[in-house]
Structure 1
Amino acid sequence: MAAASGLLAYEVADLCLGKPALKSLSVSATIADALSALKSSDDNCISVWSCDHTKKTSNFANGGDDSCVCIGKLCMVDIICYLCREDNLESPRSALKSPVSALLSTVPGQVRHVEPSSSLVEAIDLILQGAQNLVVPIKTRFTSSSKRKFLQKSSSITPTIHNGREFCWLTQEDVIRFLLNSIGLFSPIPTLSVERLGLITTDFSSIPYHSRASSATGAILDSLNNQTSVAVVDDEGILVGEISPFTLACCDETVAAAIATLTAGDLMSYIDCGGPPEDIFRAVTERLKQRNLMGILEEFMTDTSSSDSSSSLSSSDEDLPSPNTTLISSGRYSRSSSYSARIVRRAEAIVCHPGSSLVAVMMQAIAHRVSYVWVIEEDGSVVGIVTFPNILQVFREYLDSSTWV
């Protein structure tokens, strides 16, 4: 099969060209260290490493020296959900003194080491086994001595250097983007609908629009682990929007106060890229006072008053396409609205139709920098979700077969 024979020749290194070196944090660091590192970095997540340089042997079974291993990754969502715990809301500064190990996912295999010579198929297989990020060594750009001098002048968050090597992330998005560039080789699969291909998963997290946002913290962490999102629906099951880890990762830690006090619907307004309406902002402060959560209230008021936007959102999503879809007053989608855009700005969902083609869904996800797309009916009711692993499974099966039935 020409398509398979060509793609099977590619190695992980081919997908890592131009990737920036990872920045890292030691497993002995505190959550406060992680918070500072995330705020000073352009990346949405930080790699966490466990190193034992007393080891004299190397084991390359996992793609590198086992004296230094990337054991996980952290993003702002981990910190926000940790601060949402009742005891941590009362004393956030004490909570930030906890070790970063308290935030690491207990789901095994989410981060895996691989060598640059590993094949594309091996990378896909690891993702299908649950890996979110593959850690790949890249060529070090400096000599050891110049690297030490460079690091001495840099901040506490530095490129990862282990045994003379730097590393980079290889993500699900990187693999999907690579396959999209070669989509013509998979004809006719790209033109088939996500429904016909069996890509729609009905197992997803959701929360009613008027429910307390704090009831969704477990679902938010699950969706972070699965690289999906939490659907926000009305009483009729219509998709109103979402609480997305991708969006929360662009916020700061004070969003924990909003999650603790607002409904799911109000939280969407709070984290919207335009900033929270003033009445919602006031509601958060009043409810914190009523619950006597003076610790998080102090953090909330200090941080929000010192920023240009009271929601303290970063501008990393300014390049997202402008929305061209609106909601009518009932909360349902207009029949004339496009299914290929966000409903309204960042707090809302990327959606498609069961009849949408695979290639269209892939392009939507890549364009909006998400790893999933919601599937809705004409009336806006949620059918399910299409995820990157679902899509990769289809391509993996194609690479295993010379024909497509």
Structure 2
Amino acid sequence: MAVRLLNYVVADLCLGKPPLKSLPASVTVAEALTALKTFEENYISVWSCKDNQDGIDEIEEVDEDCVCIGKVCMVDIICFLANEENLSSPAEALASPLSALLTPAPGIVRHVEPSSSLLDAIDLILQGTQNLVVPIKTSSRRNLSNSSTHNGGEYCWLTQEDVIRFLLSSIGLFSPVSARTVESLGIISPDFLAVWYHSPASTAIGAISQALAEQTSVGVVDDNGILVGEISPFTLAGCDESVAAAIATLSTGDLMSYIDCGGPPDDIIKLVKETLKERNYEGTLEEFEVFSPNISSSNSSSSEDDESSASPITPFTRPGRYSKSRSYSARMVPKAEAIVCHPGSSLVAVMIQALSHRVSYVWVIEDDCRLIGIVTFTNMLAVLREHFHSMS
């Protein structure tokens, strides 16, 4: 059975995967924003084609005419618009080329052949690749759309989550490693992103962008290092671009309330608008009103909603209780919460936690809820890859 697992190839993990939606590298930020809302995708692949030479000289040599060079999501746009230089003129920022959002780090996405081995895929992920772009077979009767077709065919991509989920289905082969604690395996990383609850949310822009690039999250802690919540790129990806105004004007704690309360409270909306006016960001305020009808409509909410939003914004009821409310966006996402484990949690338990909540990390806390580290899919894959080595 172990040998059979080693014989799996990338194509085996692609079964049932949908074709990628895509954008040309030549589009603007505004066009990418429209595409994200139209496709209702968390991520859209970005392609460069020899037809228009969009960055083709800067990418890896391949035989195809079109190559996937990156990916874009709502978080990229939110962080871009929240930068101070873009707040005064959001319309001009939205007219910027999409390349302004693409990470300069090479290898975030990599083309691989369907015949590539599972071990090769894991090695690429451990080297920093987030998405493996794989050609997929398509029915000749399928109408291939321009948004998903390149080089005469369609592609899907594999993520860390896909590989971890696949390995979990054969977790018995990794015994006794899978039953060991994350502490004994040495995979608790003390290098994590965290911000103070009362700090300005704008100071977290860099951390949010880094968390997105690393596929982790930004922990929010109090004065004692207690984890009271998080600012998750996964949650932000389900919001709309108006969150940029909230990031620019609110504290970190208020920002958590803004994105995690099922709808931003009226007093928080008022604070955002007043602060934008004080800072002479009329352009941002105008955009904030225009592209956020769902937020503006909260002023006409029911009496029950008014009563709930009248309460002051405070941290969670007690350390260790994590928000499970939905994002306010019309593009609803699964419930966002800070997923935690303890140093004594087993590897398999942490894998299941992360997969069940569709995140690629789990926070590690002590019994008093003090944040001590994070375990990521990359940490897990490194341990499982070493076990693979002993099997081969």
TM-score (norm 2): 0.88
Please give the alpha-carbon distance, in whole angstroms, between the structure 1 residues aligned to 2:32 and 2:170: 38
1:302 CA displacement: 2.0
> 1:111 matched to which residue of 2?
109
Indicate conservation of the 8 Å contact 1:241/1:347, yes or no.
Answer: no
Residue aligned with 1:392, SS: helix
| Equivalence map 1:79-158=2 (5 Å) | 79-142=77-140, 147=143, 151=145, 158=146
| Equivalence map 1:251-400=2 (5 Å) | 251-306=239-294, 329=317, 331-333=318-320, 342-345=322-325, 346=335, 348-400=337-389
1:108 CA displacement: 1.3
Indicate conservation of the 8 Å contact 2:289/2:296, yes or no.
Answer: no
Q: Which 10-residue stretch deviates more, 295-304 or 384-393? A: 295-304
> 2:194 matched to which residue of 1?
206
Gaps of 5+ in 1: 56-60, 152-157, 312-326
1:163 CA displacement: 2.3
1:190 CA displacement: 1.5
Residue aligned with 2:274, SS: helix
Indicate conservation of the 8 Å contact 1:91/1:295, yes or no.
Answer: yes
Residue aligned with 1:101, SS: helix
Q: Which 10-residue stretch deviates more, 17-26 or 61-70? A: 61-70
1:199 CA displacement: 1.1
Please give the alpha-carbon distance, in whole angstroms, between the structure 2 residues aligned to 1:352 and 1:328: 18
Please give the alpha-carbon distance, in whole angstroms, between the structure 1 residues aligned to 2:246 and 2:52: 45
Deviations 1:150-193 (A, max 9, x none): 64xxxxxx442222210001010000000111111111112111
Indicate conservation of the 8 Å contact 2:23/2:147, yes or no.
Answer: no
> 2:72 matched to which residue of 1?
74
Amino acid corresponding to residue 222 of structure 2 in structure 1: D
Matched, 1:30 2:17: no
Deviations 1:316-370 (A, max 9, x none): xxxxxxxxxxx874x423xxx7xxxx54434541111111111111111111100
Please give the alpha-carbon distance, in whole angstroms, between the structure 2 residues aligned to 1:308 and 1:270: 13
Q: 1:140 to 1:344 in 2, by over 3 A?
A: closer
Residue aligned with 1:401, SS: helix
Please give the alpha-carbon distance, in whole angstroms, between the structure 2 residues aligned to 1:133 and 1:231: 24
> 1:314 matched to which residue of 2?
none
RMSD across aligned C-alpha pairs, in angstroms? 2.2
1:300 CA displacement: 1.1
1:39 CA displacement: 0.4
Q: 1:116 to 1:138 in 2, by over 3 A?
A: same
Please give the alpha-carbon distance, in whole angstroms, between the structure 2 residues aligned to 1:113 and 1:53: 19
1:303 CA displacement: 2.6
| Equivalence map 1:182-201=2 (5 Å) | 182-201=170-189
Amino acid corresponding to residue 178 of structure 2 in structure 1: P
Amino acid corresponding to residue 262 of structure 1 in structure 2: L
Gaps of 5+ in 2: 54-58, 300-314, 326-334
Deviations 1:127-159 (A, max 9, x none): 00000100000013336xx74xx64xxxxxx44
Q: Which of 164, 177, 191 matches 2:152?
A: 164
1:223 CA displacement: 0.6
Please give the alpha-carbon distance, in whole angstroms, between the structure 1 residues aligned to 2:248 and 2:227: 23
Percent of residue pairs identical: 63
1:233 CA displacement: 0.2
Please give the alpha-carbon distance, in whole angstroms, between the structure 1 residues aligned to 2:33 and 2:203: 24
Residue aligned with 1:194, SS: coil
Please give the alpha-carbon distance, in whole angstroms, between the structure 2 residues aligned to 1:277 and 1:54: 46
Indicate conservation of the 8 Å contact 2:228/2:316, yes or no.
Answer: no
